[in-house]
Structure 1
Amino acid sequence: MTALQQLVRVENGTVVADSRDVAEAFGRQHNNVLRDIRTLLDQRPDLALTFERKVAQVEIGSGAQRTTHYYTMNRKGFVVLVGGFKGERALDFRIAFYDAFERMERTIAAMEAEAAALSAPERPSIMDDRDRLRDAIAFVRAAQIAKRCPVARRAWTVAGLPDVFTGDAAIETFGAAGDVDPVVTAWAEDRLEQAHGQRTPTCILFEDHQHWCNAQGIRPAGARGFSQALTAMGVIGFKSSRMQRLNVRLRTMGAV
């Protein structure tokens, strides 16, 4: 049986389902699913762009093969095809496929936003900006003094300066640099922790951000804004087989 998390895949930048997986999940003969697709295309030629006919070689024994075909379909094609399917678990599988489409599309959006953020011009190093360097040194000195004086620490908080006196200071001061979405900053303070050498996929962080916002009853940042906020907060990003962030992880996660 096809695992629910593997119901869809990405082909040429588009999330698609396979007619063979649809047949297996819904307990139908693949030939019947192909017949239903051909009927749809005959009735509605405008659906041609939602289905793509593919050819495959099938082993038939003794090293022999025969040519068969199947269809891939985007989310619209899938919804149209299975809308009339009946059966005890038909509704469950329709929802499972639809959720798989949405998860994969969110992942692609997050990866594209990450790629765009990484390709943006880098901000000049602080060592090349005398004003920024002077301000940073002054900030550190002031924090060192305030840390030893409770009154100064209270004044520091009242002034709206970032809290650099409690644990995970690097995470808690993310919002201090630049114009960062306060929702992403709040999520980072609650959900992220430093982990030297840890590599965490950006799409995992983005999904957690969405779940966290839903639990808080607030609107999450978009994929592009989320990625840009992480970069602005100093969370290092890089691309290997997928977009990842370095030296941070979710508080409830182990090593990835």
Structure 2
Amino acid sequence: MSQIALNLPNPLAARESLFLSTDGAPFTTSRAVAERFGKQHKNVIQSIENLITNCPDSEFSQLNFQPAEYLDAQKKPRIEYRLTHDGFAFLAMRFTGKEAMAWQIAFLQAFNALEAELRTKEARFAKALDHVRPTLRPIVEGTEQGQSRADIAAPLGKSVNSVTYHRRKARELGLLPTHH
């Protein structure tokens, strides 16, 4: 069968339904799922709430289905859910039919592509940081291995005070745990 006969999704349409949270994690919304799968939003909400109610792992449902608000056409606040990659997959696997399967594939490919882009971006930042602060990585790794400041400093040709400074910067960047 041809794509036109099945009304298969354009891969970009699924990608346009993905967003990034404030912490940089990709998500989609229950409204985007309803639109792409040709369902009423209230029915998607009901499906999500049934999943949440019946999910044997409440932590899974809390992490993957996060309630949020949006303003409808009349500027009234309405509920929607933000779905992670896993939340989307958990919900969408319940939809049936060839068109639903096509959208499932398109969404999963879009999630995977966006997550790969984010990993690549993070790797570029890590590489740039290694160039900007070439001693930061060996100091973090030495600290994680329990080496003393002197043992870390010697092969780097740095002072013990330099190691202390870089450890402090690493803690500020979240690369090492903070002191308690």
Match of 1:59 among 66, 73, 91: 73
Partner of residue 117, structure 2: 107
Q: Distance in 1 between matches of 2:108 and 2:39?
A: 18
What SS does the aligned partner of 2:62 have?
A: helix
TM-score (norm 1): 0.44
Structure with max Cα Rg: 1
Deviation readout 1:230-252 (Å, 9 max, x if unpaired): xxxxxxxxxxxxxxxxxxxxxxx
Deviation readout 1:15-70 (Å, 9 max, x if unpaired): 1111111001111000000000000110112322111100111232xxxx211010
Partner of residue 9, structure 1: 19
Highest relative contact order (Cα 8 Å, sep 6+), 1 or 2? 2
TM-score (norm 2): 0.62
Partner of residue 129, structure 2: 119
- Does structure 2 conserve the Cα–Cα contact (< 8 Å) formed by 1:7 and 1:100? no
Deviation readout 1:67-118 (Å, 9 max, x if unpaired): 1010111111111101111234011000000000000000000111101111
Matches within 5 A, 1:235-250: none
CA RMSD for the aligned pairs? 2.0
- Percentage of matched positions with identical amino acids: 29
Is residue 2:95 matched to residue 1:85?
yes
In structure 2, the CA distance between the partners of 1:71 and 1:123, relative to structure 1 (3 Å rule), is: closer
Amino acid in structure 2 at the alignment position of 1:35: Q
Runs of 5+ unmatched residues, structure 2: 1-8, 135-180
Give runs of ≥4 in structure 1 deviating > 6 Å.
none
Q: Distance in 2 between matches of 1:75 and 1:22?
A: 12
- More helix by proportion, 1 or 2? 2
Partner of residue 21, structure 1: 32
